[in-house]
Amino acid sequence: MEEEKIPQSIAIIMDGNGRYAKKNNLPIAIGHKNGCDNLEVILEEVVRLHIKYFTVYAFSTENWKRSKEEVNNLMSLFHIYMPRILKKALNNNVKIHFIGDIESLDEELKNMCYEMINQTKNMTGTIFSIAFNYGSRNEIIRAIKKIKIEDINNLDEEKFSTYLDTNGIKDPDLLIRTSGECRLSNFLLWQISYSEIYITNVFWPEFSIDELHKALSQYSMRERRYGTRV
Ligand code: IPE
Ligand code: IPE
Ligand code: MG
């Protein structure tokens, strides 16, 4: 693939753990666990490809509405996988970043997030953003609350972006959603204005390195116009 056709910034809505479990007669908990294992595989490939920005939707502000059992299961998976992701990041020169309302998480999870940020702050490779307790509308409201009244009149798009959790992260060139749903589910509404969107029916736990390459190859054939006539 030509160098310039590889996206610098990729985001993934990792959807379909539940349907994958159902299809394979497995408990949902195993679906989520296999989804976490798969994230480690895809992260490594993204690093190998020197993709600078990698953002994944791990848990939305709306996902709290699921059953207590499922939410608890997901939170315990975060406890298990965050140290593993940290280790992987340290071994692969990956800098970890979180987007979402981390402040409202329970103390232990919040501390784990800060620990991951802190320990990887000097890494110079891929910047891996984890959307955790993330909702785009929530992010926009939190951003607005940070703006000083006296700065409102001079606010422009570039300046507004700096108040978002994604400050410093390049807007996704490519947004991938697994499991076939054609919606954004409150993910990066501001940032994906001109992203190329790739939707596959493959469930997240089965989204292999080959599937990632299919998405990249599709992307390489897209013509981005940004409203202009080229
Ligand atoms: C994505 O898989 C994981 C999270 C939302 C945390 P789902 O659990 O949404 O899987 P489906 O959509 O029910 O198949
Ligand atoms: C989006 O998936 C959130 C994550 C992948 C973390 P959902 O499964 O929550 O989205 P909906 O409910 O199908 O829109
Ligand atoms: Mg889903």
Q: Per-residue confidence at 230, pLDDT binned at 50, 70, 90?
A: confident
| Distance between CA atoms of residues 175 and 70, nearest Å | 26
In a 13 Å sphere around the CA of 23, the CA atoms on its Cβ side amount to: 12
15 is catalytic: yes
| Distance between CA atoms of residues 4 and 2, nearest Å | 6
Residues in a beta bridge with 9: 53
Which candidate in 15, 165, 171, 173 is catalytic? 15
The phi, psi pair for 224, rounded to 5°, reads -95, 130
Of 104, 88, 108, nearest to 96 by C-alpha is: 88
| Distance between CA atoms of residues 58 and 135, nearest Å | 11
Tens digits of per-residue pLDDT, 52-97? 999 999 999 999 999 999 999 999 999 999 999 999 999 999 999 9
Single-letter residue type at 225: R
Asked if residue 205 has its Cβ within 6 Å of ligand 1, the reply is no
Distance 207 CA to ligand 2 centre (A): 16
Average pLDDT over residues 204-213: 98
130 pLDDT more than 80: yes
Give, as residue ranges, everything with CB less than 5 Å from ion ligand 3: 15
63 is catalytic: yes
Which candidate in 24, 25, 63, 153 is catalytic? 63
Average pLDDT over residues 145-156: 96
Q: Torsion angle of alpha carbons 117, 120, 123, 129, nearest 10°?
A: -40
Of 38, 28, 37, nearest to 72 by C-alpha is: 28
Average pLDDT over residues 183-198: 98
| Distance between CA atoms of residues 117 and 110, nearest Å | 11
Q: Per-residue confidence at 118, pLDDT binned at 50, 70, 90?
A: very high
Q: Three-state SS for 191? A: coil
Mean pLDDT of the chain: 97
4 pLDDT more than 90: no
Alpha helices in 92-135 (DSSP H): 107-119
Which amino acid residue places its CA nearest to atom 1 of ligand 1?
15
Asked if residue 188 has its Cβ within 6 Å of ligand 2, the reply is no
Q: Three-state SS for 133? A: strand
Percent of the chain topping pLDDT 90: 97
Q: What is the pLDDT of residue 2?
A: 53
Residues in a beta bridge with 128: 54, 96
